[in-house]
Amino acid sequence: MAKPPARKPKKKVCVFCKEKISYVDYKDTTLLRKFISDRGKIRARRVTGNCTQHQRDVATAVKNSREMALLPYTSTAR
Amino acid sequence: MRQYELMVILDPELEERAVSPLIDGFLKVVRDGGGNVEKVDTWGRRRLAYEINKKSEGIYSVVDLKAQPDVVKELDRQLNLNESVLRTKVLRPDTH
């Protein structure tokens, strides 16, 4: 079968820059859950489309959240 | 004086009405040290993402306060000494 033509990567805009959120709260687990995989790993920037600064803020928030048992370090569901 | 945010996870076996006097007792250090407790938000019982000290639930509470750094250090120390405190976290939200 022929390979599908190379897709042009769509340029994603960082959701935090768009919404003008400056502080990523570690208590907001519903928001942070969008940035972790179902295994509990932090999604890469190429997946989330965040800018450098906000990806870093998200990562810190997720890590803080994990320390307080709001998010899992790992989840072996499956 | 600096702005701090404190989160504590308390033992789930504590009674609901025993929680706020307990937290208030802890925050006495802040008041005596010239600090200011701005908001105490008790979330109540919540499932932990993983077990802490063999417990799968915890009582969460978030406190916003303004105090001197060494007062907060002392508060955190006292919290960690208490048996009914599972975990604490102190953050300065304005550093972000």
Structure tokens at B31: 């008041």
B36 to chain A nearest CA, in Å? 22
pLDDT of residue A78: 54
User: Touching check for B55 and chain A: CB below 8 Å?
Assistant: no
Residues of B in contact with A63 (CB under 8 A): none
Instruction: Please report the beta strands in B1-96, taking only residues with DSSP state E, as ranges in sequence order.
Output: 2-10, 36-52, 55-67, 85-91
Per-domain boundaries in chain A: 15-68
CATH superfamily of B2-91: Ribosomal protein S6/Translation elongation factor EF1B (3.30.70.60)
Could you list the pLDDT tens digit for every one of the 96 residues in chain B? Answer: 889 999 999 998 888 888 888 888 888 888 888 888 888 898 888 899 998 899 899 999 999 999 998 999 999 999 999 888 999 999 998 776
Rounded mean pLDDT of A12-37? 87
Q: For residues A41-68, give the mean pLDDT.
A: 91
Between CA B94 and CA A26 the distance in angstroms is 14
Provide the ipTM. 0.82
Alpha-carbon Rg for chain A in angstroms: 15
Q: How many CA atoms lie within 13 A of B12 on its CB side?
A: 12
Compare CB distances from A69 to B9, B91, B93 and report the shortest one's residue: B9
- Is A22 touching B (CB cutoff 8 A)? yes
Residue B67, SS3 per DSSP: strand
CATH superfamily of A15-68: Ribosomal protein S18 (4.10.640.10)
Report the sign of the C-alpha dihedral through residues A43, B5, A19, A22, in that order: negative
* Rounded Cα–Cα distance for residues A17 and A30 (Å): 18
With a cut of 80, say whether residue A6 has pLDDT above it.
no
Whole-number pLDDT of residue A41: 92
Dihedral sign from CA coordinates of B7, B13, B82, B53: negative
What span, in angstroms and rounded, lies between the C-alpha atoms of B69 and B91? 11
> What pTM did the predictor assign?
0.83
DSSP conformational letter for A70 = S
Displacement of CA A10 from its chain's centroid (Å): 17
Q: What does the alpha-carbon distance between residue B20 and residue B62 come to, in Å, rounded to a whole number?
A: 12
